[in-house]
Every structure is written in structure tokens, then in C-alpha cells.
Chains A and B, each alone.
Chain A
Amino acid sequence: MTRQQVLDLYFMDARFKLIELAAFLDRVDRAEGQADFRLDAFRQAVGELDGNKPERAKQVLLAFSDPTAEPIEKAPGKGAVGAWPGKGG
């Protein structure tokens, strides 16, 4: 596809999602109380969108990922929360 075709097909969808993302960050700012590690990971991931770096989707996924290599002693539960809390988490 040409760049023009990509824009024709996906621009409105990407615009919609970008505004949703901005509104989410505004909503977090307006809310009271402390945020947790997820917001830090989110802001780091948003930084991956900046500039002309390649493989942005991969870099965003890596920003949310557990970078360690060893299995953990015991599963704390079954679910995932979307961001790695760090070794203390």
C-alpha cells in the first residue's frame, strides 16, 4: 500500500484511538489518590511513539514486559495486569 492508502484506510481509526489515549491520561490526572506502576509503564510506552524510531509496536510491548529470565517461585494468581510491577511487585 502507498502511504496515502494507509492514511485513507487507518487515519480516522488511529485519530480516534489517539484522542481516547489523551482523554485517559486527562482522566487519570483529574482523579485523586496515588497511581501505581502501571501509569509509569504507560508513560514510558507512550514515549516510544515519539519520533521516527522503527518497530514502535514492538517497543511499546517491550515497555510493558517483564524483562527477567528466571521462573518465579509461585504463581501469585492467574491474571495479568498489563504492566510489569518490577522485582518488588
Chain B
Amino acid sequence: MRYIEPHGHMVSRVTDDYIDMVTAGCACVCEPAFWAGYDRSSVNGFYDYFCQLTDYEPKRAAKFGLPHFCWLCINPKESEDVKLAEEVVALIPKFLDRPNVLGIGEIGLNKNSRNEMKVLEMHVDLAARHNQMILVHTPHLEDKLKGTRLIIEVIKRDKRIQPERVIIDHVEEHTIKLVLDAGFWAGMTLYPESKCSPARAIDMLENYGSERLWLNSACDWGVSIPLNVPYTALEMKRRGWNAEDIDKVVYQNPLKFLSQCKKFKLPKA
């Protein structure tokens, strides 16, 4: 089996995870910028983090034969501080030409506040000005429905953005149709305690079809399972999916979306 892990926070994982992922058939990993678990004290913290994502982490992944790509932003969890966000958004263009940078992400909302909205709009403008693709984080739990609606409004309002170059991640049963109907790609995140389980993700694939959908583990420093994409592929097999249809979801779909970025190239098998 082959698969792409399109959303993994590998800086917070151990090298054993890289070994397990490659052994399971992972063809590449893509790492959106995210919250460190604490607020960074200045823009310099982001400079260091972006260096880690664009320099050190791809080298660490390469030791296990795994291509590593990333997305850059200030995460919505740190967006209440608009001044800091302005400094980080001004820093990002210095990194956009680096070979493993795919675009702006994971931007979005966390608690759906006015400042988070301002920072989201700043990121969307940044992506538009630099012709970058976008990866969007939608809020957790009770805030997801409202946040997803607000995010869609913000992105649709900016006519420079092509919806097919945007993926809105962490959809669940109450948000997936909103995202797909608006023309965006949708990501389903496979978590053990929140977001969605492998069984529910497959339910959604069976209900909504597999166009413009991908699966990811979003593994990070919290409760998460780096192999949840291949585990879900196994679940699909148990439910009678054939190998070609599984491959479309776990490999060809992310390949199709990510290949809209010219820098996204995989080594020939």
C-alpha cells in the first residue's frame, strides 16, 4: 500500500514514527505550522520555527527516505495578539521560496473571535498576493460549525482565491457539505478522541463520494495516532472497498491537490 500523510506535526513526533510511517507505505508527509502548546514570546520564535520546518525537519525525514513538505502561518490559537500576527505575516514571504514550502497554513479560527477573523483575513490576503495555496484549520468541538461558516465567508469574499486551491480541514458530519458545496477540498482528521474516527470517515466517503476529500492523522504532541491513515485504509478494506478506490482516497487525492503547487514533486518509485 502507498499513502500520503498530508497533515502531520512531525516536529513533535519521535523518529520511531518516521520509521513506522515509511514502513506502512508513506510516500511523503506535509506539515502545517501549528501552535507549540504555549504562546511564542516574539516573532523571533516563529523565525526559528520556520527554519525548523524548512531546514531541519526535512533533513530529519530524509534520513528515513521520507520527503517532507510544510505550510507556514501563525496558528489561530495565537491570533488574539494581532500585532504579533502582523509581524509573523510580514516574516513569512522570506520563507516562501524555500523548496519544501507548499503554501499558507494551517490558518483559520479557534474561538471565532474578531481578532482571529482579522488575522485570518491577513493570511488570505498574503496567500492571494503571493499566489499561494491555503490549508485551513477549523475550530474544535462546539466552535466548529460557526467557525467553518465564518471561514468560508472570509475566503469566498476574496475573489483572488480559487476554491480548488484551498483545503478546509477537520470536517465532520455537520460541516463536510458546507465545505464541498462551496467548491473547496475537505480534509478528515482521524483522531482517537475527537474529530472523526476511521469508521465515521469512511461513512462520510460513502455518503458524499471521494472527490475533493483527503484523510490525515494530524498527529502532534497530543493524543493522536500517526498511522491512522493506513489504519483507515485497512478499515476500508474490511468494509469491502477495492484497492483502487482506497488508493484514490489515501494517495491519489492528496497527490492531485498538492500537485497544484509546482514545488510538490515526489521521487519516482
Chain A residues close to B by CB (< 8 Å): 1, 5, 9-10, 55, 57-58, 61-62, 64-69, 71-84
A71's partner among B80, B112, B141, B238 (CB-CB below 8 A) is B112
Q: Is B256 an interface residue (CB 8 A)?
A: no
Query: Bound complex: CA of A69 vs CA of B172, how far in Å?
Result: 19
Determine, out of B84-92, B114-122, B182-190, the stretch whose residues face the partner at the interface: B114-122
- Show 18 A/B contacts (Cβ-Cβ < 8 Å), sorted by A: A1-B239, A5-B240, A57-B173, A62-B145, A62-B174, A64-B141, A65-B146, A66-B143, A66-B146, A69-B146, A69-B149, A72-B111, A75-B115, A75-B116, A76-B111, A78-B77, A80-B111, A80-B139
Whether A74 lies near B173 (C-beta < 8 A) is no
Query: Bound complex: CA of A74 vs CA of B77, how far in Å?
Result: 12
Chain B CB within 10 A, most for which of A1, A9, A65, A67: A65
Closest-CB distance, A38 to chain B (whole angstroms): 10
Whether A64 lies near B117 (C-beta < 8 A) is no
Contacts of A82 in B (CB 8 A): 141-142
Whether A66 lies near B142 (C-beta < 8 A) is yes
A71-B112, A73-B114, A75-B80 known; A61+B174 contact, CB < 8 A: yes
Chain A CB within 10 A, most for which of B110, B117, B139, B145: B145
Q: Closest A-chain residue to B112, C-beta based?
A: A71
18 extra interchain contacts, Cβ-Cβ under 8 A, other than A9-B238, A71-B114, A82-B141?
Answer: A5-B240, A10-B199, A57-B172, A57-B173, A61-B145, A61-B173, A62-B145, A62-B174, A65-B142, A67-B145, A69-B149, A69-B150, A71-B112, A71-B113, A72-B111, A75-B115, A80-B111, A81-B141
Query: Bound complex: CA of A74 vs CA of B80, how far in Å?
Result: 7
Closest-CB distance, A60 to chain B (whole angstroms): 8
Q: Is B140 an interface residue (CB 8 A)?
A: yes
Q: Which 3 A-B pairs have the closest CB atoms?
A: A75-B111, A80-B141, A58-B173
Contacts of B114 in A (CB 8 A): 71-74
Interface size on B, residues (CB 8 A): 30
Q: Is B200 an interface residue (CB 8 A)?
A: yes
Closest-CB distance, A40 to chain B (whole angstroms): 13
A57-B200, A77-B111 known; A71+B142 contact, CB < 8 A: no
Q: Tell me the dominant secondary structure on chain B's binding face.
A: helix
Query: Bound complex: CA of A32 vs CA of B194, how far in Å?
Result: 28
Chain B CB within 10 A, most for which of A1, A67, A78, A81: A78
Contacts of B77 in A (CB 8 A): 78
Q: Is B68 an interface residue (CB 8 A)?
A: no
Whether A64 lies near B110 (C-beta < 8 A) is no
Query: Bound complex: CA of A82 vs CA of B142, how far in Å?
Result: 5
B142's partner among A1, A73, A77, A80 (CB-CB below 8 A) is A80
Q: Closest A-chain residue to B114, C-beta based?
A: A71
Q: Is B144 an interface residue (CB 8 A)?
A: yes
Closest-CB distance, B181 to chain A (whole angstroms): 14
Whether A78 lies near B174 (C-beta < 8 A) is no
Contacts of A78 in B (CB 8 A): 35, 77, 110-111
Contacts of B113 in A (CB 8 A): 71-75
Query: Bound complex: CA of A33 vs CA of B77, how far in Å?
Result: 33
Query: Bound complex: CA of A69 vs CA of B117, how far in Å?
Result: 13
Q: Closest A-chain residue to B139, C-beta based?
A: A80
Contacts of A62 in B (CB 8 A): 145, 174
